[in-house]
Structure 1
Amino acid sequence: MTEHSQHSSYREKLIEHLLVGELLKFSWKTKDFSLEISKPEVDNSGYDLIAEANGVIRHIQLKATFIGSATATQKVHISLSKKPSGCVVLVYFNNETLDLGPYYFFGAAPGQPLPSLENLKIATHTKGDATGFKSERPNIRILNKGSFTKLQTINELYNQLFGSA
């Protein structure tokens, strides 16, 4: 067992902070200075961050995986589609250095709602009950990696989220 699996919640929070730092750094370097980041007090609507810049508010569900991972799907909460400009950002990172990128984006143009998630496959629980049956999670959908747009740099991600700075 590696530190990545033993301390996955620690790593998840670290990647979130690194991403927020990179977005803020890009906002600073472009002399935009408008990016604001908020966190929900309760996590029941499928998003991890609220970010606002250039008049665009994004509710972002953040996903992270290491470069070389075979992960082909992500689980997304359907409530995210009820938020203005909801989106999913999948961050790849280097297992050794924790450098970020590339980034994968699922959503619409800045100011536009998330494409519907209703027709996607319904996720099931990862663990079965006493009989091994894995019940459905009616508010969670499975999104294929092919549905995401690949972005190489934080600049591209920032522009995808908020338009040109």
Structure 2
Amino acid sequence: MNSLIVKPLNRPYDYRVLIEAFIYTRRNFVHEDFTNYYTGLLRALEEMFEVRLNREYLSFDQKVLWMLFESTLRSLLQISSPWEGYIDDTLLHTKLQARGEQGQEVYRANAAIAEAREASESSHRLMLYALFIAIFGDRPRVVTSDELVLMGFDDSREPDMTNYYDDL
């Protein structure tokens, strides 16, 4: 499982949210509902933005940049944290707190890692957005939920992780 938080996508949808939907289709989720939802959303948004986020549909020049887009995406999905994978970290926190200053040093280091991780994720996204425009051109369109419904995609059914804790 990769480190990115599962949070609802912003609405209305601009090209950045199209990219976020694409990122979500590359994640390993705890339940297929997430994969199915984000794949459906991506397909609908691709149609609305008149793009296909797939190497197969690109010209040679676009394919060259697409390679960097794909490797940037892979790099983003690999960003991790030492705390990743813990379903319940209560005992770990108890033991660290019992260690006094050594435990506090762990928390300080973790704060630095979290800050660097956020900066890295943000920079990866900025690079993806810039590459998207370099590949597909500026896409100022904004898609609303109502437009998606007219296309047959209901974005009100976005899965919420809190409903899937039993699947963890």
TM-score bracket for the superposition, by shorter chain length:
under 0.3
The structure with the largest alpha-carbon Rg is: 2
Task: Work out which structure has the larger RCO, using CA pairs closer than 8 Å and 6 or more positions apart in sequence.
Answer: 2
Write 1 or 2 for the structure with the bigger share of helix. 2
Structure 2-normalised TM-score? Answer: 0.25
Write 1 or 2 for the structure with the bigger share of strand. 1
Structure 1-normalised TM-score? Answer: 0.26
